A = this chain, B = another copy of it.
């Protein structure tokens, strides 16, 4: 069972954990990607995330399906935020439950690694003196 969400609202880690909790799951792994206060020593004021929404949701769904198939996990919650984020806020939360912990860890890591490669979401870092789309240029 999968819970895929792309939202401008604050992400809720408890909702993700509650979704994946199950009596037959022995291990839950949760990854929380938060907004860092600096990049290469330069102070970040805030971040903005933009998404190609229908495709982002479809790609997130695919990733969670692949992870379920590949690692035999029970449930996956995959929530990503868009819009303006303040320092320390969660941009992404991934929760995975599995009968054994190795599958939960592997699947969670697969989801975040693949999300960062394929899901059409873009992060703009806003500094005191300008802004930059992350990873845009070589």
The residues of A with any CB-CB pair to B shorter than 8 Å are 13-14, 17, 21-34, 36-38, 87-88, 99, 101, 104-105, 108-109, 112
Q: Is the CB of A21 within 8 A of B101?
A: no
Give the nearest-CB partner of A105 in chain B. B109
Q: Is the CB of A31 within 8 A of B87?
A: no
Q: Is the CB of B87 within 8 A of A23?
A: yes
In-complex Cβ contact of A32 among B30, B31, B109 (8 A): B30
Mind listing 19 A-B residue pairs with CB under 8 Å?
A13-B13, A14-B14, A21-B88, A23-B36, A23-B87, A25-B34, A26-B33, A26-B36, A27-B34, A28-B30, A28-B31, A28-B33, A29-B29, A29-B30, A29-B31, A29-B108, A30-B31, A31-B104, A101-B112
